[in-house]
């Protein structure tokens, strides 16, 4: 059976992508999935060569035919998303705020509004020297990133089955909302990457509760742990109380940024303490999957 591991963080910028790229270099026989569709960065380290690009249609969008519109304002009065407003040139629709629910279409007696599908991004299947990678491009300002995450994960499973891979390695997005939940549901394990800051600790508690809410086992990685060892101890204590294993502690080192500038996973760039810590963490996680 294909196992799935999602790397998430709650707080942004804690080092998810750095860890995932290194796992991509360490793990055998896997599919890599970048589910941080809002701000995908994994490709900057893994250099995928796209072999298949498919249109992704997310939420629909309302479209107004102003020739038929009599400016009655029924549409604006039912829209709960502030997508239709009364402007000097008549009622106008803001597609960036439209959620494609169709309430305006229903109340418009002139049949001046319709819902149309829109291409809100692309899903990509690629090759990398680390194995197959699935990812996406979300068009600017589009929503439905949760749906796009689900589309990426569906692709990942398909590729994993076709190529007999044992693992899907998922890079998640920051936060606790729609795309994060979509990248967590049904996975075997969530690795939460945190940092020893008050914000990191606060966000860790929230993301751990999200994982628990959806019945997902989690582990924690304390990244840059030596930046504030008091806070790192607080995080470790919290994990201990909650019965959550600390899978690894990675020190701060500017080598991580250097590797990023070179465009390679840090474990391939250096054999220092950071790489050792990530390797040890990967062995621990692999054994428990």
CB of 247 to other proteins, least distance (A): 20
Q: Of residues 2, 103, 255, 273, which one binds other proteins by CB under 8 A?
A: 103
Of 55 and 162, which has the nearer Cβ to other proteins?
Answer: 55
* Residue 143 is a binding residue for other proteins (CB under 8 A): yes
Closest CA to 110 of 83, 71, 81: 71
Q: Of residues 52, 66, 82, 233, which one binds other proteins by CB under 8 A?
A: 82
What distance in Å separates the CA atoms of residue 75 and residue 108, rounded to the nearest whole number?
6
* Residue 99 is a binding residue for other proteins (CB under 8 A): yes
Applying CB under 8 A, the span of 126-134, 163-171, 254-262, 269-277 interacting with other proteins comes to 254-262
Apex CA 101: angle with CA 57 and CA 35, to 5°? 40
Cβ distance 85 to 95 under 8 Å?
A: no
- Site map 196..215 versus other proteins, x via CB under 8 A: xxxxx-xx--x--xx--xx-
Instruction: Tell me the CB-side half-sphere exposure of residue 270, using CA atoms within 13 A.
Output: 18
Q: Of residues 29, 77, 85, 257, which one binds other proteins by CB under 8 A?
A: 257
* Residue 131 is a binding residue for other proteins (CB under 8 A): no
User: What DSSP line would sit under 74-126, residue for residue?
Assistant: HHHHH-SSS-EEEETTEEEE-TTT-----HHHHH-TT--EEEE--EEEEEEEE
What distance in Å separates the CA atoms of residue 161 and residue 90, rounded to the nearest whole number?
53
Residues 260-289 that bind other proteins (CB under 8 A): 260-261, 263
* Residue 116 is a binding residue for other proteins (CB under 8 A): no
Q: Residue 88 burial by CB count (10 A; 0-12/13-18/19+): exposed, middle or buried?
A: exposed
Of 145 and 275, which has the nearer Cβ to other proteins?
Answer: 145
* Residue 233 is a binding residue for other proteins (CB under 8 A): no
* Residue 106 is a binding residue for other proteins (CB under 8 A): yes
What distance in Å separates the CA atoms of residue 66 and residue 284, rounded to the nearest whole number?
62
Q: Phi-psi region for residue 141, left (φ > 0), alpha (ψ -120 to 50) or beta? A: left
* Residue 255 is a binding residue for other proteins (CB under 8 A): no
Structure token digits, residue 253: 């080192």
Cβ distance 117 to 146 under 8 Å?
A: no
* Residue 178 is a binding residue for other proteins (CB under 8 A): yes
* Interaction site with other proteins (CB under 8 A): 9-14, 17, 38-39, 41, 44, 59-60, 78, 80-82, 96-97, 99-103, 106-107, 115, 138, 140-143, 145-146, 173-181, 195-200, 202-203, 206, 209-210, 213-214, 227-228, 231, 254, 257, 260-261, 263
């Amino acid at each position: 059976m294909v196992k799935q591991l999602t790397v998430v963080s709650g707080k942004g910028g804690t080092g998810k992508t750095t860890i995932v790229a290194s796992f991509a270099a360490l793990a055998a026989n896997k599919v890599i999935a970048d589910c941080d569709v809002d701000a995908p960065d994994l490709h900057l380290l893994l250099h995928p060569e796209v072999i298949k690009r498919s249109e992704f249609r997310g939420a629909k969008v309302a479209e107004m035919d102003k020739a038929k519109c009599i400016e009655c304002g029924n549409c604006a009065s039912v829209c709960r998303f502030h997508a239709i407003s009364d402007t000097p040139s008549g009622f106008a629709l803001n597609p960036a705020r439209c959620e494609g629910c169709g309430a305006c279409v229903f109340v418009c007696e002139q049949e001046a509004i319709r819902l149309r599908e829109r291409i809100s991004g692309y899903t990509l299947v690629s090759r990398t020297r680390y194995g197959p990678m699935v990812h996406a491009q979300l068009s600017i300002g589009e929503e439905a990133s949760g749906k796009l995450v689900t589309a990426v994960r569906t692709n990942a499973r398909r590729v994993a089955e076709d190529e007999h891979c044992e693992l899907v390695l998922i890079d998640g997005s920051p936060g606790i909302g729609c795309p994060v939940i979509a990248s967590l549901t049904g996975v075997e394990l969530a690795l939460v990457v945190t940092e020893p800051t008050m914000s990191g600790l606060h966000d860790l508690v929230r993301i751990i509760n999200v994982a628990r809410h959806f019945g997902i086992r989690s582990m924690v990685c304390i990244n840059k742990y030596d930046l504030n060892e008091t806070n790192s101890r607080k995080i470790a204590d919290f994990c201990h109380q909650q019965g959550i294993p600390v899978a690894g502690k990675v020190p701060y080192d500017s080598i991580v940024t250097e590797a990023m500038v070179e465009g390679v996973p840090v474990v391939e760039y250096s054999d220092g303490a950071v790489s050792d810590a990530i390797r040890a963490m990967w062995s621990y996680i692999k054994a428990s999957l």
